[in-house]
């Protein structure tokens, strides 16, 4: 099977700063990837490249078999669903939740005069239902909690039935309940073979949903480790990437990490 996404020796430079330095990565059909690394490691830059929103300074990017630079990105965009804080900021507060999702068929935010087929509204409602926010479809987006908004954003990203789903920190800012509900919904999505290829960016191993198969671990714009998730999410690799001695546990399908030697009650009074 061919690569769905590929970075080949990609570097991105801004001024004198190398944001990505010789990064190679390939994503195949059926895979669910987590892109992990500390602040500033280059995770969002990777997402911008593979969503066709940025070109590399050197190296090549291939998106769904099409080389970036020799392809009309406008044609590729509907094939790539993205949920990110940057895109979420563009959703008007007054927009009805159903419309937030339905407008994604046309790659726009803000419903204005477009006519939608019943089929589209039915699909949007079904996606909201899958993420447990179907009962909010008539509400204004601005009235939702951040957890509810995150789920609406993922439903929106899935609306055009993309071949790739890119999720940039989908659990950021959620409380424990909100995070766990989102993890469950993403785990179900990851476990469904009809789902698109998934790439999820996070700083936290606790935010990797069950069913994710591979990981790309970045450190200061370079690849610290890449491959099957069990080979990448190890104390050695995470300690090097985050620059401190870490312990990593795996319980069933979830990971947890903490500083080595950190024990409850260890703080002196
Ligand atoms: N236009 C720019 N000019 C200079 N530096 C930039 C520019 N855009 C991004 N950077 C820097 O590139 C680095 C990588 O940014 P990126 O947003 O990809 O990291 P990240 O891993 O997503 O970080 P975070 O976890 O904090 O969101 C950061 O140090 C950032 O400051």
Q: Which two tokens stand for residue 132?
A: 């447990």
Whether the pLDDT of residue 112 is over 60: the answer is: no
Report which ligand 1 atom has the smallest distance to the Cα of 203: 25
- Alpha-carbon span 198 to 213, nearest angstrom: 10
Identify the pLDDT of residue 253. Answer: 87
Select from 45, 218, 223 the residue to mutate for testing ligand 1; criterion: most ligand atoms less than 8 Å from CB: 45
User: String of b and e for 6-19 (b: at least 16 CB within 10 Å)?
Assistant: bbbebbbeeeeebb
The secondary structure of 118-158 as a DSSP string is: HHHHHHHHHHHHHTT-GGGTTSBGGGS-HHHHHHHHHHHHH
Q: Is 114 helix (H, G, I), strand (E, B) or coil?
A: coil
Identify the pLDDT of residue 116. Answer: 60
Q: What is the pLDDT of residues 114-149, one digit of tens each?
A: 566 678 899 999 999 988 899 999 999 999 988 899
Report which ligand 1 atom has the smallest distance to the Cα of 38: 25
Find the mean pLDDT for residues 78-103.
91
Find the mean pLDDT for residues 71-84.
87
Q: Is 4 helix (H, G, I), strand (E, B) or coil?
A: strand
Q: What is the pLDDT of residues 144-161, one digit of tens each?
A: 988 899 999 999 999 989
How far is ligand 1, taken at its centre, from the CA of residue 17, in Å?
A: 10
Task: Please give the torsion angle defined by the CA atoms of residues 231, 191, 126 and 4, in that order, rounded to the nearest 10 degrees.
Answer: 60
Q: What ipTM does this complex have?
A: 0.94
Least confident of 43-57, 66-80, 98-112, 143-157: 98-112
Find out whether 77 and 64 touch, Cβ atoms under 8 Å. Answer: no
Find out whether 49 and 61 touch, Cβ atoms under 8 Å. Answer: yes
pLDDT band at 10 (very low <50, low <70, confident <90, very high): very high
pLDDT > 70: percent of the chain: 92
More reliable by pLDDT, 73 or 16: 16
More reliable by pLDDT, 192 or 269: 192
Find out whether 195 and 165 touch, Cβ atoms under 8 Å. Answer: yes
Give the number of other Cβ atoms within 10 Å of residue 220's Cβ. 16
**Residue closest by Cα to atom 26 of ligand 1:** 39
Q: What is the pLDDT of residues 221-268, one digit of tens each?
A: 999 999 999 999 999 999 999 999 999 999 888 999 999 876 555 444
Identify the pLDDT of residue 269. Answer: 42
Identify the pLDDT of residue 69. Answer: 85
**Residue closest by Cα to atom 13 of ligand 1:** 40
Identify the pLDDT of residue 70. Answer: 83
Identify the pLDDT of residue 263. Answer: 58
What are 62-71's contacts with CB under 8 Å, separation 24+? 62/3, 62/5, 62/6, 62/8, 63/5, 63/164, 64/4, 64/5, 64/163, 64/164, 65/2, 65/3, 65/4
More reliable by pLDDT, 104 or 10: 10
Identify the pLDDT of residue 210. Answer: 95
Identify the pLDDT of residue 267. Answer: 47
| CB-based pocket (< 6 A), ligand 1 | 14-15, 17, 19, 37, 39-45, 203
Run of H or E residues at 239: helix 235-242
Ramachandran angles phi, psi of 131, nearest 5° = -95, 15
Mean pLDDT over all residues of the chain? 90
The secondary structure of 51-67, three-state, reads: CCCCCCCEEEEEECCEE
Whether the pLDDT of residue 192 is over 50: the answer is: yes
Identify the pLDDT of residue 252. Answer: 86
**Residue closest by Cα to atom 25 of ligand 1:** 39
Q: Which domains does the chain have, with CATH numbers?
A: 3-259 (3.40.50.300)
**Residue closest by Cα to atom 10 of ligand 1:** 19
Find out whether 62 and 6 touch, Cβ atoms under 8 Å. Answer: yes
Least confident of 4-13, 39-48, 102-111, 129-138: 102-111
Identify the pLDDT of residue 119. Answer: 83
Task: Report how far Cα 173 is from the mean position of its chain's Cα atoms.
Answer: 15
């Amino acid at each position: 099977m061919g690569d769905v996404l590929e970075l080949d020796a990609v570097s991105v430079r801004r001024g004198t700063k190398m944001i990505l330095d010789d990064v190679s990565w390939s994503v195949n059909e059926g895979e669910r990837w987590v892109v992990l690394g500390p602040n500033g490691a280059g995770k969002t830059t990777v997402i911008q490249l593979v969503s066709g929103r940025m070109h590399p300074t050197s190296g090549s990017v291939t998106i769904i078999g099409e080389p970036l630079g020799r392809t009309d990105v406008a044609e590729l965009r509907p094939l790539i669903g993205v949920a990110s804080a940057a895109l979420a900021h563009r959703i008007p507060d007054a927009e009805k939740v159903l419309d937030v999702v339905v407008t994604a068929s046309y790659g726009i935010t803000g419903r204005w005069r477009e006519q939608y087929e019943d089929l589209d509204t039915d699909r949007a409602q079904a996606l909201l239902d899958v993420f447990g926010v179907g009962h909010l479809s008539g509400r204004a987006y601005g009235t939702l909690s951040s957890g509810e908004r995150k789920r609406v954003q993922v439903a929106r990203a899935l609306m055009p039935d993309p071949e790739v789903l890119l999720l940039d920190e989908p659990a950021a800012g959620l409380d424990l309940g909100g995070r766990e509900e989102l993890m469950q919904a993403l785990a179900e999505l990851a476990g469904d073979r009809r789902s698109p290829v998934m790439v999820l960016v996070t700083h936290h191993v606790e935010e990797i949903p069950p069913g994710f198969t591979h990981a790309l671990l970045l450190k200061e714009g370079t690849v610290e480790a890449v491959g099957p998730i069990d080979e990448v999410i190890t104390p050695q690799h995470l300690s090097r990437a985050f620059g401190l001695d870490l312990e990593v546990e795996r319980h069933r399908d979830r990971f947890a990490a903490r500083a080595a030697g950190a024990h409850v009650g260890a703080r002196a009074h």
